[in-house]
């Protein structure tokens, strides 16, 4: 890397880190205050809960910071006539931009790794902390990474093949009941469980009771049986929150398992593709920022750069959120829902660069 390349890289990184730090302080301050006011909890607990979100917040703020870094870097060069000097030394705008975009691409790769490996376990810790410390509710343990879903509550352990959040039905369910010494006393297995009039009704299954010493199983088949369980379908929505704690490979297996069970997976597929799409947004933002940063540079200022950054990010997130909503409702394919806004903004950025359009 030559001297000019190092200079361009350092100017971009200064703007990027300054923008990221500013956005982060503003967000964390507002979120900590909001949590404290909403849940009436100690400031220390609100801060701890917010810190669990820190990597995820950084990833979400990175696109805006990359856009801001690009605007500050290139518009600064233009205002100080350094772009003209670089052009005179043989560096084209494309060559200058390549240095910035190479750094942004590395940031994208880092964001993807953090999204896939760091954020999922922290989300699980965050949910556990919120439920047990802030809400002061008993811990509910779920695990959906493997071939079945495990859900533990009080003296019961549920083993589910799949849960349909739309119909609130459970498929391939086993319910294990334990005594205070954690000895198995009853096992219920059923093809399906339905929640009807406040009661769970199991369909086509077998009830096994472990009696005597040593425990001897006594089994009886049934076509329909009502059982009194403290859990409701809303409790099993914890499984939906557990999806946010999955790595991409586990999420994809979960999607395939639900597809095989005939469950609508649009929402999960949108979540899967959006995690990949979000990792590329910093690059999209920087590409779009290049033509804006190098036009009308004589009238450019930091206030203009900030306003422009805010406008672009707001428009993007409106389109992105709309796309996700349409994808989860099944109106457009999940892949299109996750990537359409990025493709639109990337195409706009490339077109503006090629045409040299004055904004």
Inside any domain, residue 95:
yes
Report the distance separating Cα 268 and Cα 214, nearest Å: 45
Indicate whether 303 and 350 sit together in one domain: yes
Indicate whether 181 and 131 sit together in one domain: no
pLDDT digit string (tens) for the chain, length 359 residues: 678 889 999 999 999 999 999 999 998 888 777 766 665 677 778 778 888 999 999 999 999 999 999 999 998 888 888 888 888 888 888 889 999 999 999 999 999 999 999 999 998 888 888 878 877 766 656 666 555 777 777 778 888 888 887 888 888 899 999 888 788 889 999 999 999 888 899 999 999 998 766 667 888 999 999 988 888 888 777 777 777 788 999 899 888 888 887 888 888 999 999 999 999 999 999 999 998 888 755 555 667 777 888 899 999 999 999 999 999 888 999 999 999 999 999 999 998 888 764 44
Indicate whether 203 and 274 sit together in one domain: no
Q: At which of 181, 206, 229 does a domain end?
A: 229
- C-alpha distance from residue 251 to each of 53, 172, 221, 225, 228 (Å): 20, 19, 34, 33, 32
pTM here is 0.80
Inside any domain, residue 142:
no
Report the distance separating Cα 1 and Cα 15, nearest Å: 20
pLDDT tens-place string over residues 249-285: 989 988 888 888 788 888 899 999 999 999 999 999 9
* DSSP category for residue 135: S
Non-local (6+) Cβ contacts of 272 within 8 A are 248, 251, 252, 255, 334
Indicate whether 208 and 91 sit together in one domain: no
Report the distance separating Cα 78 and Cα 87, nearest Å: 11
Inside any domain, residue 251:
no
Number of structural domains found in the chain: 2
- Domain of 159 in residue numbering reads as 155-229
Query: What's 295-324 look like in SS3?
Result: CCHHHCCHHHHHHHHHHHHHHHHHHHHHHH
């Amino acid at each position: 890397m030559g001297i000019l390349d190092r200079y361009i890289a350092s100017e971009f990184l200064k703007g990027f880190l300054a923008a990221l730090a500013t956005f982060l302080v503003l967000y964390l301050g507002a979120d900590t205050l909001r949590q404290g006011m909403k849940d009436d909890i100690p400031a220390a607990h609100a801060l701890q809960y917010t810190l669990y979100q820190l990597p995820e917040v950084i990833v979400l703020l990175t696109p805006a910071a990359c856009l801001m870094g690009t605007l500050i870097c290139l518009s600064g060069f233009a205002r100080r006539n350094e772009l003209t000097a670089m052009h005179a030394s043989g560096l084209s705008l494309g060559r200058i931009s390549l240095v910035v975009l190479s750094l942004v691409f590395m940031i994208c790769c880092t964001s993807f790794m953090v999204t896939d490996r760091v954020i999922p376990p922290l989300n699980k810790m965050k949910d556990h902390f919120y439920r047990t410390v802030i809400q002061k509710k008993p811990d509910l343990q779920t695990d959906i990474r493997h071939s079945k879903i495990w859900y533990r509550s009080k003296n019961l352990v549920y083993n589910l093949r799949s849960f349909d959040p739309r119909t609130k039905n459970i498929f391939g369910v086993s319910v294990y009941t334990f005594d205070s010494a954690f000895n198995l006393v009853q096992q219920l297995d059923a093809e399906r469980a339905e929640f009807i009039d406040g009661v769970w009704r199991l369909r086509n299954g077998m009830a096994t009771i472990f009696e005597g010493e040593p425990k001897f199983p006594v089994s009886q088949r049934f076509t329909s049986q009502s059982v009194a369980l403290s859990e409701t379908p809303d409790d099993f929505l914890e499984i939906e929150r557990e999806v946010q704690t999955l790595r991409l490979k586990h999420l994809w297996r979960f999607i395939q398992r639900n597809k095989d069970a005939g469950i609508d997976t649009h929402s999960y597929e949108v979540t899967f593709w959006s995690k990949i799409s979000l990792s590329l947004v910093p690059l999209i933002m920087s590409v779009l920022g290049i033509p804006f940063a190098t036009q009308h540079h004589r009238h450019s200022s930091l206030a203009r750069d900030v306003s422009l950054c805010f406008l672009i990010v707001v428009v993007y997130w409106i389109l992105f959120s709309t796309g996700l909503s349409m994808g989860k409702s099944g109106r457009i394919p999940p892949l299109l829902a996750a990537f359409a806004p990025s493709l639109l903004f990337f195409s706009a950025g490339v077109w503006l660069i090629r045409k040299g359009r004055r904004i």
